[in-house]
Chain A
Amino acid sequence: MRYVHLYFTCIKRSMISRLEYKKDTVVALFSFFFSNLCSLAAVYFILQAIPALAGYTLAEVGFFYGFSMLPISLDHLFSDEFWLVAYRRVKDGDMDMHFLRPVPVIFQIFAETFQPEGFGEMILGVALIAVCAGQLTVSLTVGALVVLCVGAVFGAVIITSLKVAIAALAFIFKRSGPLLQIIYNFSNYAKYPLAIYPFFIRTLLIFVLPFGLFISLPVDTLLTGAHDPWLLSLAIIGAAAVFFALALWIWTRCERRYESTGS
């Protein structure tokens, strides 16, 4: 309870900081819209050249893309500071103050930044889903709806866990940003039906970097009814629990290795 209160105090602080930099928020929002626009354009250009991708129409592939933005945007809202930890803050010896406070360091990192740009991403995702769904003729079952919600929320937990675990490696290697970026990039390949990949990549995207588990499979459940929604929901929740526990464990192990600079 204390931490809930503390979290909101810190988030309020973060929002006050943001208001000081309205111009920069515009730059960040623009760059983010632009980058999504380019990715979408690429998908659109490719699908213009072929009738359908492994039997999935443009609208269906667009639905995959739109849905992928939901867990990603949720993660974006709450854990953006870990990017800075991975890329710069440990390397620059800029973590001392967190270690001098009587609150868990990982909590302080979560509480350092609340990124309202995530809402922009979420709105874009929902809009894309709406546009694509309008051209689809599938019936929305309760099971499919549940698995999509579970995929979005617990998928965000899994993304955050991966981020925490890899950012923690910076305590050992000084800089883990490039690694984090490259792992994050794998989410791009889960924005398609997994059927297009051979066995080993499917395995990778379901069990190791499980972006496919909570993006592709739930959407596939809606579009083709290929999977049992309830089992899949359970699997996603289970995976989220495992990844989250693992991330916390890795973070605590690595955090102990943090040393300030000598001088």
Chain B
Amino acid sequence: MIEVNELTKVFRKPIRGNGLSGMVKTLFSRQYEELRAVDGISFSVPDGEIVGYIGANGAGKSTTIKMMCGILTPSSGSVLIDGAEPYRKRRQVAQRIGVVFGQKTQLWWDIPLIESFKVLKEIYQVSDGDYAERMAFLGEVLDITRFLSQPVRTLSLGERMRADLAASMLHNPRILFLDEPTIGMDVLVKEKIRLAIHALNKTYGTTVVLTTHDMTDIEDLCSRIILLEKGTILYDGPLNRLKNRFGNLKTLTLTVPADVRAETASALSPELAVSREDGRLILRFDADRLPLEQVIQYAFRDLRAMDMKIAEISVGDVVKTILAQQEAADSRADAARNNGGKNDAEKV
């Protein structure tokens, strides 16, 4: 159980002057600029859930994860992992969580993988029986048995990530934090890692919090997503509801005779957006406003469709839309502020 309450993290960054005079000035006094990386967010994650934590670069994802595992201290607000604050009760919480940072490994670089596991077994006080059982399970789902005797530096990125996942699961943590677990990997390897995360969640009931840029990760794994932008939560809830926020958007792709034109095809309703791509006709509409059967009938009867594909809008498209809307709103606000400033200056 993770409870996050009004969590805020402010970084102080010294402002550096320009040129030589600026350099000399910073020598004697330092001014700081405040950066609110995480700004008053609250949510909770019940046991056994897989939560996708998404947002653009610099939205505050890693900062939140680091506060949740206790290596960053919040500026205000709190995190509770099963009732304990990770940055205060570091060791107690460490026994309950597993952490994988996609960019860094916690394995020892130059020794055979199995040796790293042996050390971690002692560090986390895993009994011999549990160790044998978990190694058997992890060896199978993560497919790491093959390279157990190889030094970590000789592993490929995907192999290393699987090894890191296994290392973080060795003590059977209640919660697993994964920061970019599939970054830089090819599709097949990503697939393997997703299956493994699923298996871990099913078998041990592990709660998983993962950040990613890959929308397929989200769609395959997460029953719930938290969308972060500029340190605040834009959306928190199930995946399908995020889609519904934009209505029940559907896309119909039709193969039609050459004489059917896009302009005439949109005659059914102004709710129907039509375009022609690669000789196919694409119909986009909101099924809550324009019933699906009606469009299908129209497509076969009036447009003489020979073939048809129905698709829901992808989460990736939805997230992209949300982020784009947010950005547009921000830049409008900025523009307004700048204009205001200019007017003030003119008055003076």
Contact = CB atoms under 8 A, between A and B. Distances in A.
Interface of A: 2, 5-6, 9-10, 13, 16-17, 20-21, 96-97, 99-104, 258-260, 262-263
Given A2-B125, A99-B70, A100-B71, A20 B94 contact: no
A258 B115 CA distance: 28
- Top-4 shortest CB links A-B: A260-B71, A102-B94, A102-B95, A97-B106
Nearest to B116: A13
Given A259-B73, A262-B11, A100 B111 contact: no
A109 to B, nearest CB: 13
Chain B interface mostly: mixed
B40 interface: no
Contacts of B58: 263
A262 B108 contact: no
Contact of B99 (A13, A21, A100, A259): A100
B62 interface: yes
12 contacts: A2-B125, A9-B122, A17-B108, A20-B110, A96-B104, A99-B70, A101-B123, A102-B94, A102-B123, A259-B71, A259-B73, A260-B72
B276 interface: no
A102 B99 contact: no
A100 B11 CA distance: 21
B32 interface: no
Contact of A103 (B11, B63, B123, B151): B123
B115 A5 contact: no
Contacts of A5: 122
A242 to B, nearest CB: 27
A9 B90 contact: no
B342 interface: no
The number of chain B residues touching the other chain, given as a range, is 35 or more
Interface string B93-130: 01101010100101011111001101100111100000
Contacts of A258: 71
Contact of A96 (B71, B124, B125): B71
A249 B253 CA distance: 70
B69 interface: yes
B69 A100 contact: yes
B111 A263 contact: no
Interface in B60-90: 62-63, 66, 69-73, 90
B92 A102 contact: yes
Contacts of A20: 110-111, 151
Contact of B119 (A2, A10, A104, A262): A10
B314 to A, nearest CB: 28
A24 B99 CA distance: 32
B131 to A, nearest CB: 13
A262 B126 CA distance: 32
A81 to B, nearest CB: 13
Contacts of B69: 100
Given A96-B71, A96-B104, A102 B124 contact: yes
B71 A9 contact: no
A194 to B, nearest CB: 40
Nearest to B124: A102
Interface in B239-292: none
Contacts of B95: 102
A16 B151 CA distance: 11
B347 interface: no
A259 B106 CA distance: 17
